[in-house]
Amino acid sequence: MANHKSFYITTPIYYVNDKPHIGHAYTTLACDVLARFMRADGRDVHFLTGTDEHGQKVEKSAAAAGIPAKQFCDQVSENFRAMNRLLAISNDDFIRTTEPRHVRASQAIWQALERAGAIYRGSYSGWYAVRDEAYYAEDELTLGPDGRRRAPSGAEVEWVEEPSHFFRLSAWQDRLLAHYAKHPDFILPESRRNEVISFVRGGLKDLSISRTSFRWGVPVPGESAHIMYVWLDALTNYITAVGYPDVDSELYRRYWPATVHMVGKDIVRFHAVYWPAFLMAAGLQPPARVFAHGWWTNEGQKMSKSLGNVIDPFALVDRYGPDPVRYFLMRDLPFGNDGDFSHRAMVNRMNGDLANDFGNLAQRVLSLVQRNCAGRVPLPGVLGDADEAMLGMLDSLLGAMRHSFERQEIHVALNDLWRVIGEANRYVDAQAPWTLAKTDPLRMATVLYVLAEAVRNLALLAAPVVPMGAQRMLDQLAVPAEGRDFRAYGAAGRLQPGTPLPKPLGVFPRFDAKASPAGQAAG
RNA sequence: GGCGGGGUAGCUCAGCGGUAGAGCAGGGGAAUCAUAAUCCCUUGGUCGGGGGUUCAAAUCCCUCCCCCGCUACCA
């Protein structure tokens, strides 16, 4: 049983047949921010991401490329690891469904389901379009004048039937509804929870969980003509990574059930309906939460391959830098909602929030210290009301952000953080240390000490979102490595007066249109 | 069609019974430590339309209009 200090967070495993796009980056990024925050806060974090490498499409793409499927996966899976490096993702593990540990876990959960009587043999049939490699429901089809049925895509369909194993999902309707009722936060945001509940209330059909039409996948134990079908194989990755089927293993006991499965809104059902049903049927605990985030549009347009406007995270980071991209994606919309990416909004955030508000705050404070305190942390005198108020706002900020992050309200946490950054800028202006330098050097030292503390604490809290810039700020305050988590927050980690500081350098540069033409598309 | 969410300042959104708020954008001013950054003041909304309940409604009820999501095997 996972203890309350542990925090196991996962991204979906990404289908290797796809190129990494902003949606993948976004999901992973949200997990990274949460994982970094929790780690800094002393939680025992396990952050998992990876790639889904099975299925007919992969099999075909590999064949088309003329290479073995495994080799194909090795190549394309690497694209996702490259994306992670690019965005400074701090995952603890990267799982691939082609790994032996995962084949073992998938077959083990299959056998557990079989023992529980949750699986039976039958046959899967439906209207299949060879061209689309997909099944369609009767009501999606149109009957042409030639008497042939066609899919919405225009592809001709034919009635096919193949033997298959089924999972008794229909038996889980009441237990799932009871689970949702008992755990109101199992699915967030609430609107997604409503959708799932209404879906389950509508009745559940048994689920086909094996296929014989392709080979690239996990063989069904004892029946290798059958391949485990996508979702059972894919979802199992979350327990593979913590050691399943060794439920007594150190990892499993520490981290299962998962704290949060982060998913896009398109795959909520698989995570909030099928997955808990699989787990409960296998005698395992369901995860504590499934959080579904929204989708991005690009300059108001839906992104699609045919429109050619899919945002490439590599191009994005190349243009704006990793910290600004991370910040923008986490800040510009309520987490859970859909958002729109635009160059204008991106630059507004980058320049307004990062460069002007935060970067410039650090720069002006550090420059004042450098020039007026001989480049050392000043020695504060007695604190006045304004000083206490400033430090007090900082002290209460950690608790507020903790509360928001607990519910994945990343935007609320950032809003709170930037409100205090604003307070710090106002404090600078109100105290005018540049004037005190001439009239009251002792008072100036106190003000600059409070401000240096403000920058230190703000950098600690900003680090999960903008790790590179925050670390550079802490470097400039000569904060030692062991002083960079929340144990050092507030009074516990005050700067030592007299500590020599390096020359300040700008953090969070403004976006320069000349260096990167504004007219150029981001994607 | 059914279920759910939403329509509040130019933009993104908060407020959800007590005579309209924030950030950004726009306008004016102050300051000059700083990445021409910062700070202060300010223009701007009959809170989608209509009806009702109430001493009092973005806030509750009814109705209409519009937008979005879900409505099963698609990563």
The count of C-alpha atoms lying within 13 angstroms of the C-alpha of A175, restricted to the half-sphere facing its C-beta, is 14
Nucleotide nearest to A469 (CA to C1'): B35
pLDDT cut 70: percent of chain A above it: 96
Least confident among A136-145, A362-371, A409-418? A136-145
pLDDT in tens, A86-120: 999 999 999 999 999 999 999 999 999 999 999 99
Residue A258 pLDDT: 96
Whole-number distance in Å between A256 CA and B18 C1': 49
* Structural domain A6-294, CATH architecture: 3-Layer(aba) Sandwich (3.40)
Instruction: Return all residues near A283 (Cβ < 8 A) that are at least 6 apart.
Output: A112, A116
User: For chain A, where do the domains classified as CATH 3.40.50.620 start and end?
Assistant: 6-294
- pLDDT single digits (tens) A40-89: 999 999 999 999 999 888 998 999 999 999 999 999 999 999 999 999 99
Output the pLDDT for position A521: 36
Whether the pTM exceeds 0.90: the reply is yes
**Quick one: which residue's CA is nearest to B74's C1'?**
A134
DSSP string, A304-355: -TTTT-PPPHHHHHHHH-HHHHHHHHHHSS-BTB-EEE-HHHHHIIIIIIII
Closest CA to A329 of A298, A304, A289, A360: A298
Relative to beta strand A158-167, strand A119-129 is antiparallel
The distance (Å) linking the CA of A182 with the C1' of B61 is 31
DSSP state of A493: G
The least confident of A160-169, A239-248, A253-262, A481-490 is A160-169
- Protein CA A200 to sugar C1' B50 (Å): 37
d(CA A488, CA A484): 7
CATH of domain A343-493: 1.10.730.10
Q: Cα–chain-centroid distance for residue A134? A: 29
Mean pLDDT of A265-282: 95
Provide mean pLDDT across the span A15-39: 93
**Closest nucleotide to A371's CA, by C1' atom?**
B33
CA–C1' gap, A229 and B11, in angstroms? 46
pLDDT in tens, A323-374: 999 999 999 888 888 888 999 999 999 999 999 999 999 999 999 999 999 9
**Helix, strand, or coil (residue A370):** helix
Query: What's the pLDDT score for residue A154?
Result: 72
What would the two tokens of residue A311 be? 């945002």
How is the beta sheet containing A119-129 ordered, strand by strand? A134-136, A119-129, A158-167, A207-208
The SS3 of residue A279 is helix
Q: pLDDT band at A517, cuts 50/70/90?
A: very low
* Separation between the CA of A415 and the C1’ of B14 (whole angstroms): 12
**Tokens (6 digits) for A46:** 């396990």
- The ranges of chain A annotated as CATH 1.10.730.10 are 343-493
Strand pairing report for A207-208 and A158-167: antiparallel
Q: What does the block give as tokens for A137?
A: 């429901």
Q: List chain B nucleotides near protein: any atom < 7 Å from a Cβ.
A: 2-5, 12-14, 24-25, 31-35, 37-40, 68-75
Calpha distance A30→A32 (Å, rounded) = 5
Nearest nt (C1') to A340 (CA)?
Answer: B12
CA angle at residue A23 from A20 to A26, to 5 degrees?
A: 105
Whether this model's ipTM surpasses 0.85 comes out as yes
Model confidence at A4, pLDDT cuts 50, 70, 90, reads low
The pair of three-digit structure tokens given for residue A332, joined into one six-digit string: 């510009």
pLDDT tens, position by position, A209-226 = 999 888 999 999 999 999
Percent of chain A with pLDDT over 90: 77
Residue A522 has pLDDT above 60, yes or no: no
Q: Identify the weakest region by mean pLDDT among A237-241, A330-334, A399-403, A484-488.
A: A330-334
Q: Identify each DSSP E strand in A467-512 by its residue range.
A: none
Mean pLDDT of A415-426: 95
* Amino acid identity, position A446: T
Q: Which amino acid, one-letter code, is at A331?
A: R
Residue A276 CA, nucleotide B53 C1', distance (Å): 45
User: Which is more confidently placed, A152 or A464?
Assistant: A464
Q: Which nucleotide is nearest to A14 (CA to C1')?
A: B75
pLDDT reading at A1 higher than 60: no
Nucleotide nearest A411 (Cα, C1'): B13
What whole-number distance in Å separates Cα of residue A189 and Cα of residue A26? 17
pLDDT at A514: 61
Alpha carbon separation from A462 to A91, A339, A378, A426, A474 (Å, rounded) = 19, 22, 24, 19, 11
CA distances from A422 to A25, A254, A435, A472 (A): 29, 40, 21, 20
The one-letter amino acid code at A383 reads L
Give the three-class secondary structure for A47: strand
Given a contact cutoff of 8 angstroms between Cβ atoms, the answer to whether A249 and A198 are in contact is no
Protein CA at A94 to nucleotide C1' at B57, angstroms: 54
Residue ranges with strand state E in A367-487? none
